[in-house]
């Protein structure tokens, strides 16, 4: 069992005469889970380990300007796409306030946050993963710059991932590039329930340039928040079996990722997506998050795979949009398939062609 790192540090405070001003900006990507995290224990501890591909083009870009707070308590203004956003302001201020044991300096500052996403938020694309991981990058980078701590990159990333997890579980996986496991996993040393752990060594080359075409069936607001969704697993009659299955799937998927077994990859990723939705359909209250066109797209992917034998599969997050996963080697065929068969099934927002990415990037 990996133990919980202790990040509470009363020394991370400025002397009253020395409260700084400055600006920091980072970009952090979303990720797509291949084995899903759905169900948690307090505080943000997953019921089962999960693994994801970090994406590249679907990211949040956030700039935080900080200056001495007037009232000696945390102050915040949050602008999303240039507009003041009270919902995000409240969420972010309460996230920061909850971190005041880890970063006591937050109570001494006023924050003006400007954020934007390259994709529609709250549409079942993990916007909380990019949005929360970027804030965690910024807070840890502030600590590193202003207090001289976290000089080792590994220590820095691990703390970022720990903090991101407290904002949104899946966010802890966005802190690194490639394939990341979150949750203690049998046979994988270094994995933890408290932070993400990259597992890129020894991955077969077919999985190193994977593509994710995100087909936007419906870009509206989510019907059920993931907080509520995780909570519903507490009463779900199939929960224990689901958590057992996820562990077994992760072991089998890891081995497929090492050997280049795209067939097993397809079987597990699709089963994981459908199981996630099955869990929502079997909760009380129940939720049906697919739309008719979600099913149409899935059936067309099945038919296309049958016809061409190409290794393309789908995944779903907690929403109606379809993530189509395939190796870069078949990009051209997939582009034609989208154009010829899928476009009429998409919302006016169309699709995003994304791919496995390298993780967060500092921009200021
Ligand atoms: O991080 P949260 O609480 O938004 O949960 C994310 C859950 C899924 O996206 C549905 C699955 C996953 O593992 O990312």
Q: How far apart (Å, rounded) are the C-alpha atoms in residues 31 and 40?
A: 19
Q: What is the pLDDT of residues 9-65, one digit of tens each?
A: 999 999 988 999 999 999 999 999 999 999 999 999 999 999 999 999 999 999 999
**Which two three-digit tokens encode residue 227?**
């907080």
List pocket residues of ligand 1, CB cut-off 6 Å.
Answer: 33, 36-38, 50, 126, 128, 168-170, 226, 230, 276, 317-318
- Residue of 43, 126, 214 best suited for mutating to test ligand 1, as the one with most atoms within 8 Å of CB: 126
pLDDT reading at 79 higher than 70: yes
Strand bridging mode 75-80 / 109-117: parallel
Give the atom of ligand 1 at the shortest distance from the alpha carbon of 276: 10
Contacts with 304 (C-beta within 8 Å, 6 or more apart), sequence order: 310, 312, 337, 341
**Which two three-digit tokens encode residue 326?**
């395939």
Coil, helix or strand at residue 99: coil
- Residue of 175, 195, 318, 320 best suited for mutating to test ligand 1, as the one with most atoms within 8 Å of CB: 318
Q: How far apart (Å, rounded) are the C-alpha atoms in residues 265 and 271?
A: 10
Name which residue leads in pLDDT, 151 or 121: 151
- Region 217-238: mean pLDDT is 89
Q: What is the pLDDT of residues 158-209, one digit of tens each?
A: 999 999 999 999 999 999 999 999 999 999 999 999 999 999 999 999 999 9
Residue 285 has a CB neighbour count (10 Å cut-off) of 8
Among 91-100, 124-133, 347-356, which is the least confidently predicted range?
A: 124-133
């Amino acid at each position: 069992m990996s133990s919980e790192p202790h990040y509470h540090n009363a020394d991370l405070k400025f002397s009253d005469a020395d409260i700084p001003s400055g600006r920091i900006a980072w970009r952090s990507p979303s990720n797509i889970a291949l084995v899903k995290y759905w169900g948690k224990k307090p505080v943000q501890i997953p019921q089962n380990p999960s693994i994801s591909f970090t994406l590249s083009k679907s990211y949040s870009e956030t700039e935080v300007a900080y200056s001495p707070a007037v009232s000696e308590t945390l102050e915040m203004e949050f602008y999303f796409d240039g507009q003041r956003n009270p919902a995000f302001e409240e969420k972010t201020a309460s996230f920061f306030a909850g971190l005041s044991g880890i970063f006591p300096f937050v109570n001494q500052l006023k924050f003006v946050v400007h954020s934007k996403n390259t994709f529609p938020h709250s549409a079942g694309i993990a916007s909380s993963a990019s949005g929360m991981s970027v804030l965690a990058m910024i807070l840890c980078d502030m600590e590193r710059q202003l207090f001289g701590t976290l000089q080792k990159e590994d220590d820095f990333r691990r703390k970022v991932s720990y903090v991101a997890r407290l904002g949104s579980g899946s966010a802890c996986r966005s802190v690194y590039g490639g394939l990341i496991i979150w949750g203690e996993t049998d046979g994988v040393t270094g994995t933890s329930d408290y932070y993400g752990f990259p597992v890129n060594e020894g991955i077969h080359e077919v999985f190193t340039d994977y593509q994710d075409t995100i087909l936007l069936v419906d870009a509206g607001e989510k019907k059920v928040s993931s907080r509520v969704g995780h909570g519903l697993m507490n009463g779900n009659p199939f929960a224990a079996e689901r958590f057992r299955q996820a562990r077994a799937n992760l072991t089998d998927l890891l081995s497929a990722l090492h050997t280049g077994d795209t067939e097993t990859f397809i079987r597990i990723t699709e089963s994981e997506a459908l199981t996630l939705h099955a869990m929502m359909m079997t909760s009380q209250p129940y939720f049906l998050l697919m739309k008719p066109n979600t099913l149409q797209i899935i059936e067309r992917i099945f038919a296309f795979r049958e016809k061409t034998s190409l290794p393309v599969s789908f995944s779903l997050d907690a929403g109606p949009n379809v993530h189509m996963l395939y190796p870069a080697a078949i990009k051209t065929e997939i582009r034609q398939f989208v154009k010829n068969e899928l476009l009429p099934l998409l919302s006016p927002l169309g699709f995003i062609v994304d791919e496995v990415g390298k993780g967060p990037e500092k921009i200021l």
